[in-house]
Amino acid sequence: MASEAFALETAAAEAGTLRRVAIDPVSRVEGHGKVTLLLDANDEVQQVRLHIVEFRGFEKFIQGRPYWEVPVMVQRLCGICPVSHHLAAAKALDHVVGAEKLPASAEKLRRLMHYGQILQSHALHFFHLSSPDLLFGFASDAGRRNIVGVAAAYPEVAKQGVLLRKFGQEVIRLTAGKRVHGTGAIPGGVNRALSPAERDGLLADIDQIVDWSRAAVHIVKRLHAADPPLYDSFGTFRSNILSLVGADGALDFYDGRLRARDADGKILVDGFAVENYQQLIHEEVKPWSYMKFPFLAALGPRDGWYKVGPLARVQNCDSIATPLAEGERREFIDHGQGRLIHAPLAYHWARMIEMLHAAETIKDLLHDDDLSGSELSCSGTRRHEGVGVIEAPRGTLIHHYRVDDDDLVTMCNLIVSTTHNNQPMNEAIRRVARRYLNGRQLSEGLLNHIEVAIRAFDPCLSCATHALGKMPLQLELQDAAGQVIARMRSAS
């Protein structure tokens, strides 16, 4: 399962003889990135790369801060998935304060917060960012290919997407204190419970939310059924997969152990303790991106890269605990006819199954009186290190901290979901470029095929650019006519 990227590394040396085309920026994703294509004289694609051009230094500037500030600080990595960073940090620091087992109320309130995050993020991505491509066509008119166009052509679909996200945001507001960048989770627990009136307010709408989530799964299934060759082959490549699974092998977004499978579905690693993640996962740095390239250490960088996120999780688990989502999961697995599904567009199908599971889980939790309990935190023997791992909307999220005797953070390591998917995204766009762009006169619609492949992974590029790679800084000075008159380039 060697990556084509390794066979193409020498193409950079020939860049002087090739024509460069850039998609800059990639649109309808969270954060800033660009894609470069190198074409020969016959418009044949020689190289395709996804470049992450942001740099954010969270791993460095978090050092020296009191550990109790961290769950609030690190969620500033992102305004779309702050809850995931908030909870991953809190889980890591639970170990620092010695809170090995949270009170039932605290854990259930965190789970409710997290499942609200899964619901709102999946709704945002599918309805707002990806549905314009899926409903209108990848090469359709660019002026129509947006959420406004969806609202005009499919008003009920757009309405459901908006209200699904709104409900998820309301769950977050009530558990975290704010819809964005809340403070609900603290090392050792949470700082507030839900009142009976707040629970009743959410319960009043939850049945509709479950119904709309189920309808969203059916939308994706109809799209697959309408054009199976496209949905099964677009950008498809084989790879390993990785995710958390619960103690019983079920899908679990909040807690569990790591499981990895190879491209054929054979389990490579199971029941792997998250605190030992550095033995399982190593990271590679490349000179053309600020985002690192993780891989399974035992397999090496050539064969050890993997996919994370909905497509991995739905196929890596043994079951889903809620009945409607489990029925949809079984149908999804049957679609693979005994083999792992590797098609990037299948991410949307798996994502909507997860959204349905989140809605069902929220409904179950809202009937639990522990959400209004009074025992909200605990502590124990103080430690100097903690690892927190959670399944964020986009995939496995790892937070790792060391804290000194003065309660100050001395080390922070973050491996975010989109970083895990770095190599897979590059593989997907490489295959799409070869299939749709080779030998053709490029157009906006054709180039959008590249963006469609990236969007399938729902990348959060802002989250993923926390660590400095070897990407050199290049400055260009242009005159009024747009001609480059000077260049400056730092050492790599």
Look up the CATH number of the domain holding residue 227: 1.10.645.10
Tell me if 51 sits within 8 A of 34, measured CB to CB.
yes
Distance CA 443, CA 213 (A): 35
47 vs 163, more confident? 163
Tally of structural domains, the chain: 1
Q: Quick check: is 49 in a domain?
A: no
486 vs 148, more confident? 148
pLDDT in the model for residue 22? 78
Q: How far is CA 192 from CA 176, 204, 229, 273, in A?
A: 8, 21, 50, 30
15 vs 179, more confident? 179
Give 374-429 pLDDT, tens digit per residue. Answer: 999 999 999 999 999 999 999 999 999 999 999 999 999 999 998 999 999 999 99
Q: Quick check: is 387 in a domain?
A: yes
pLDDT at residue 13 is higher than 70 = no
Distance CA 352, CA 127 (A): 10
Query: What residues make up the domain containing 192?
Result: 54-421
Q: How far is CA 435 from CA 138, 347, 415, 440, 450, in A?
A: 14, 20, 32, 10, 11
Give 87-122 pLDDT, tens digit per residue. Answer: 999 999 999 999 999 999 999 999 999 999 999 999
pLDDT in the model for residue 12? 42
Q: Quick check: is 384 in a domain?
A: yes
In 3D space, the residue among 290, 291, 292, 289 whose CA is nearest the CA of residue 281 turns out to be: 292
Instruction: Give the largest Cα separation in the chain, rounded.
Output: 70
Q: Quick check: is 487 in a domain?
A: no
Give 306-353 pLDDT, tens digit per residue. Answer: 999 999 999 999 999 999 999 999 999 999 999 999 999 999 999 999
pLDDT at residue 144 is higher than 70 = yes
Q: Is the pTM of this model over 0.85?
A: yes
Q: Quick check: is 488 in a domain?
A: no
Q: How far is CA 79 from CA 273, 398, 442, in A?
A: 29, 18, 34
Q: Quick check: is 459 in a domain?
A: no
Residues 6+ apart with CB under 8 A from 453: 234, 235, 344, 425, 428, 429, 431, 432
Q: Quick check: is 59 in a domain?
A: yes
pLDDT at residue 277 is higher than 90 = yes
Residue 415 token pair: 């491996």
pLDDT in the model for residue 287? 78
Q: Quick check: is 186 in a domain?
A: yes
Distance CA 113, CA 129 (A): 23
